[in-house]
Structure formats: C-alpha cells, structure tokens
Amino acid sequence: MRGIDFFRGFLRSPEQVGSIIPSSRFLERRLINMADLAEARCVVELGPGTGGTTRAMLEAMRPDAKLLTIELDPQFSAILEEIGDPRLFPHTGSATDLQQILQQHGLPGPDLVVSGIPFSTMPKEVGTAIIEAIRDSLAPGGRFLAYQFRGHVRRLGEPILGQPEVALEVLNVPPMRFYRWSKVNGS
C-alpha cells in the first residue's frame, strides 16, 4: 500500500511530495550509509512521506535513540503513527518550527537531520527558514543530510552552512543527489 498512499499524497500536494513514487531500497541504503546513525541519539526526519526511509533509519538506529518525523500531510503522519516503534515521534507540522517541535517533544538538539522535502518547489524564503532552523537546532558536531533530485537545497544551504559533501544515487527513479553538511563547533 505504501506506493499507492505515496501516489495519492503526490496527487493531493505535488509541491510538498515532489515525486510520484517512494524512495528505492538503493536510496534508503545510501541514506543509511551517509547518515552515520551509529552514534546518533536524536535524529529528525523532515518530509518522511509514507515512512520508507523512516523504517530504514529505525532499523539502523541504536536502541536508545529517538527519531522525530515532521510531516506536513496529516494522512502521511497517520501512516507513520502505525509503525508503532517507541523511539518514533511522528509530528504533523512545518520544518520551519523545528526548535519549537523539539521542545514540545522534550528532545535535545539533533545529531542528525535528514530531509527529503522538495526544496525546489517551495518559496525561497521558506527553504531558507528551514535551513536556518536546522542550523540553529543541530547539536555540536551534528549533520544535515538532504536527498534531492534538484540542486536547490545546495544553493540555499551554502550561504548558511558552507560547502556540502555531495554523492549521487543512480539506482532510484529519478536519480537522487545527497548533500551532507556538518556543524563544526558552534557554527
């Protein structure tokens, strides 16, 4: 059902979903490898959709870690709630409110923020506000990992976070770029 639910979500809000099919298992594997979840105690996923990447991250996370998902679509959030993992905190809302959402759930600054939200379809001001919220929320040494098929997140992120590491996953429809930034000290 995940594919059907994802397609329905795309039809409801194509500017928020950004693709007609969920991520491939190759993309999920690349994400897990680049995320370096082994030491993360608090992880945030922006735009989890129907939860394919969410499930993959939960499998790779340590038993005492927490995963906060922030999803605009309430129907996708309902699907995430069905996962039933006690480490998972599904939240319906906007990533621009990241700091307040973390506080609401009693969570610390994240060691990792993963984002699949389509920065290419949102107003520049919203994308910039999301990246600033990520920068301001990350724990020292924390990482921001965005997977996108367009380069908008890089153009928005470089003035705020500096140069990212970049990788490409071609075994996904469409092929996906990964952009990873690390928060060094207090920056």
Question: DSSP labels for 31-56?
Answer: HHHHHTGGG-SEEEEE--TTSHHHHH
The whole domain housing 159 covers: 2-182
* CA 4 to chain CA centroid, nearest Å: 21
Give yes or no for a cis peptide into 74 (omega within 30° of 0): no
Q: What is the mean pLDDT of residues 61-85?
A: 95
CATH number of the domain at 135, please.
3.40.50.150
pLDDT on residue 14 = 44
The tally of domains found in the chain comes to 1
* pTM exceeding the 0.75 threshold for the entire prediction: yes
Query: Does residue 187 lie within any of the structural domains?
Result: no
For 11-52, the pLDDT digits (tens) are: 444 444 344 345 677 788 889 999 999 889 999 999 998 898
